[in-house]
Structure 1
Amino acid sequence: MLLLLHKFKILISLASTKTMKLKSILPTIFLLICGFEMFSQEINTPELYLEPIFHVNYGDATADKPQSKSWTNHYGQWLIVGDADGPKLLKKETTAWASQFEVNKAWLNLPVKADVYNKDDMAHIVLVGECALDVVQIRYSLQSKKYEHQWKESLPIPQDCQSIETATITRDSKNQYWVCSDVDQRIMVWHSVNGRDWSYPITLADNINADDISLIVGLKNQVSVIWSNQNTQSIMERIHIDGEEANNWSEPIIVQQGDNNADDHLNATVFKNGEMALATKNSVDQINQPQFVLRIRDKEGRWTNIPYENLTAQRSPSRPIVNHVESGKIFEAHAVKNRENNRYFISVNEIVKKINGWEFKELIQLKTKINGKNGDVTSSKASFLPNEAKLIFFSDDLGNVYSLDLDKL
């Protein structure tokens, strides 16, 4: 308690200076009073320099937020990356990652930004272009011992579309499929009973910022669409109950509003008990203020918002992702630009729930030998299984793709 009071006095003292207003630290004061711990960067965090696992003729091959591009199943470990002539499916072999020639030939000239929903021997992938959304299905063949391309379908896009930034796909408990995307200043969803025949888009929100994006997440007996709205400084949500009419959605739910808390960075993981963790970036962009917010949604749909990871004179963090092991361990990873030397690295962290709040611990910094950008961390949509590889991936702007198995930490 004495330590808490001491921290509180320091914050009030800072707020009295010309460089810091009380309003800007109220969220921090609230978190301290409630027992939440802010992100602490380790002074001597271990560093690991990685070599590429694959090279493509396309920069930022693991873009774009908030997409999940990898999966692990009985047949191996898989990743989809962008390339100049279309998306590429890769498989981890004994000593290297190998391109899957026949699938990739079928994908020539398709949009390259992919989000994957995998179940058993089948995967549905939504591919994102400038004003195009394609869904492809691949199925693993026990005879040929590889994935085979099944079909491609193009989703109906509004004729007045000017741009689409990203899209995500999921399947609900009724085995029906959903795609969610930003189309200009709107958030839209598409529905399919069988994964192949898609509805016309349903608008869930409009008048958002052209920079905003969305994320669709399958929860227990319901689907959640979450989006940023920088015009209203809001993170928003709408819910669809599985089995109801496709256009029957809840009224908009405010996850958080005000204080520049919204930006177009969203990534989520769903726990076995039905709770969800959402990693987001805000738009505060002030030195010594948190850049990220961890948002926890409980089984009843109540949200708790925990700011973390300060912007500092040296570190500029961006594009967080979150995933977890079914046994409970939560991992977070994001890109960091060193503002002093313009070098990038990936910060990998563990998030631990304590009795009195949350602890964020930086485990390792992943670095490369290039001088350019590293980023666009991605992982699986499904949680990590305890006895399987726990892979994260990122890429640079020269076409190199990198990977780390979190079990090695």
Structure 2
Amino acid sequence: MKLKSILLSFSPFICLLISGYGVFSQETNTPELYLEPIFHVNYGDATADKPQSKSWANQYGQWLIVGDADGPKLLKKETTAWASQFEVNKAWHNLPSRADVYNKDDEAHIVLVGECALDVVQITYSHQNKKYEHQWKESLPIPQDCQSVETATITRDSKNQFWVSADVDQRIMVWHSINGRDWSDPFTLADNINADDISLIVTLKNQVSAIWSNQNTQSIIERIHIDGEEPNNWSAPIIVQQGDNNADDHLNATVFENGEMAMVTKNSVDKIDQPQFVLRLRDKEGRWINIPYENLTEERSPSRPIINHVESGKIFEVHAVKNRGNNLYFISVNEIIKKKDGWEFREIIQLKTKIIGKNGDVTSSKASFLPNEPKLIFFSDDLGNIYSFDLNKL
């Protein structure tokens, strides 16, 4: 693939490619690893849904929230297995199962997504009891005409105020809370989107960014809220990219220590030998650059990419792949490498399971990985099995 590139250097950590394609390096003998489940639930695709982050790490351990038939489940990594946190999970009985987590210090705030319901719960780590304890649950106001909510994400800004973003039918909406418990009515950021579109909300330096897809206009769009301003005071829509079928409802992002952001998305091109994904890079001034990568081939159909990075270090992209020949799935783990003339996407391992069925819905932490700590990613199958892999093993 011919690479057209114009490079601008915004920081020592990252250089941005103005236009063209990323180079994807798929090794002919990529290592394969078969994984055994770490946990089982009575709920298929338990790590869904895009673009949610369901795990976190702190001085108390490694944690994960997965869906189950009777509500979400909080798990903790023990020495030899992952253990269900009984008392928290009892408090969450029959709550919506699809979760996105914002963790800070001893507290975690989680938005739980139902068909036309959004609940926010808080858990706090008890030093005395050495476990998380459920504190409260609050339901966000939902428009009475709601038909469906696909997914939602939660974040916290520099003023310690909270934000939730979600799709409600053909609208993108945000909710605001000063304390994480008392929530505003929703504010509409966009309407007339496709019913299949979703959003993502991300904390940047002194601002939050809400980003969504609009497949009706073939657009990826952003609006910015400056921390401390009135909750409904958002910037005009910013076009990240428009046209060429570049929009689909797959979004995931990571924020670098210098304030820049990288987001991976799927497009709707869906043509053999054409890129399925786009790496989107945002500099500190809000300028976006879009780099298509990862071709759809006769054999490989990639989907649902996520991105995370090690603090001031490696950038990882992970996505599911369906083998179009045998209908088996695997997880492709890639490193994104900055080159002088652009970017390289290098597949470094394929994670497989022994089931005949779907694997996917990769998730990791909202925060970046710490250099000397486990770097866990998770995915699930449609039989209720949960899988984990530590990127430190690469």
Following the alignment from structure 1 to structure 2, what is the Cα–Cα distance between the partners of residues 205 and 389? 38
Q: Report deviation, 1:264.
A: 0.1
- C-alpha change, 1:388 and 1:230, in structure 2 (3 Å) is same
Q: In the alignment, which residue of structure 1 is the partner of 2:90?
A: 105
Following the alignment from structure 1 to structure 2, what is the Cα–Cα distance between the partners of residues 228 and 35? 21
Q: Are residues 1:267 and 2:252 paired?
A: yes
Following the alignment from structure 2 to structure 1, what is the Cα–Cα distance between the partners of residues 35 and 106? 31
Report if aligned partners of 1:36, 1:356 keep a CA contact under 8 Å in 2. Answer: no
In structure 1, the gaps of 5 or more residues are 1-6, 9-27
- C-alpha change, 1:124 and 1:299, in structure 2 (3 Å) is same
3-state secondary structure, aligned to 2:23:
coil
Q: Are residues 1:210 and 2:228 paired?
A: no
Q: Root-mean-square deviation (CA), in Å?
A: 1.3
Q: Are residues 1:333 and 2:284 paired?
A: no
3-state secondary structure, aligned to 1:407:
helix
In structure 2, the gaps of 5 or more residues are 7-16
Following the alignment from structure 1 to structure 2, what is the Cα–Cα distance between the partners of residues 339 and 382? 34
Following the alignment from structure 1 to structure 2, what is the Cα–Cα distance between the partners of residues 153 and 202? 18
Q: In the alignment, which residue of structure 2 is the partner of 1:16?
A: none
Number of residue-to-residue matches in the alignment: 384
* Structure (1/2) with the larger helix percentage: 1
Q: Report deviation, 1:40.
A: 2.1
- C-alpha change, 1:84 and 1:35, in structure 2 (3 Å) is closer
Report if aligned partners of 2:20, 2:292 keep a CA contact under 8 Å in 1. Answer: no
Q: Report deviation, 1:221.
A: 0.3
Report if aligned partners of 1:35, 1:356 keep a CA contact under 8 Å in 2. Answer: no
CA offset digits 1:317-349 (Å, max 9, x no partner): 000000000022100000000000000000000
Q: Report deviation, 1:30.
A: 6.9
3-state secondary structure, aligned to 2:101:
strand
| Paired residue type of 1:397 | D
Report if aligned partners of 1:281, 1:291 keep a CA contact under 8 Å in 2. Answer: yes
Q: Report deviation, 1:391.
A: 0.2
Q: Are residues 1:92 and 2:92 paired?
A: no
Q: Report deviation, 1:33.
A: 10
3-state secondary structure, aligned to 1:39:
strand
- C-alpha change, 1:33 and 1:247, in structure 2 (3 Å) is closer
Q: In the alignment, which residue of structure 2 is the partner of 1:292?
A: 277
* Structure (1/2) with the larger strand percentage: 2
Residue correspondence of structure 1 range 348-359 to structure 2 within 5 A? 348-359=333-344
Report if aligned partners of 2:272, 2:295 keep a CA contact under 8 Å in 1. Answer: yes
- Which structure would you say has the larger Rg? 1
Q: Are residues 1:347 and 2:338 paired?
A: no
- C-alpha change, 1:75 and 1:257, in structure 2 (3 Å) is same
Q: Report deviation, 1:38.
A: 2.1
Report if aligned partners of 1:164, 1:184 keep a CA contact under 8 Å in 2. Answer: yes
Residue correspondence of structure 1 range 315-330 to structure 2 within 5 A? 315-330=300-315
Q: Are residues 1:241 and 2:223 paired?
A: no
3-state secondary structure, aligned to 2:90:
helix
CA offset digits 1:81-135 (Å, max 9, x no partner): 0000000000000000000000000000000000000001100000000000000
Q: Report deviation, 1:311.
A: 0.1
| Paired residue type of 2:367 | A
| Paired residue type of 2:270 | D
Q: Pick one of 327, 343, 358 that aligns with 1:373.
A: 358
Report if aligned partners of 1:38, 1:307 keep a CA contact under 8 Å in 2. Answer: no
Report if aligned partners of 1:80, 1:89 keep a CA contact under 8 Å in 2. Answer: yes
CA offset digits 1:35-91 (Å, max 9, x no partner): 754212111100000000000000000000000000000000000000000000000
| Paired residue type of 2:359 | N
Residue correspondence of structure 1 range 138-157 to structure 2 within 5 A? 138-157=123-142
- TM-score normalised over the length of structure 2: 0.96
Following the alignment from structure 1 to structure 2, what is the Cα–Cα distance between the partners of residues 232 and 34? 21
Report if aligned partners of 2:304, 2:319 keep a CA contact under 8 Å in 1. Answer: yes
| Paired residue type of 1:213 | I
Report if aligned partners of 2:217, 2:242 keep a CA contact under 8 Å in 1. Answer: yes
Q: Are residues 1:71 and 2:56 paired?
A: yes
Following the alignment from structure 1 to structure 2, what is the Cα–Cα distance between the partners of residues 153 and 34? 45
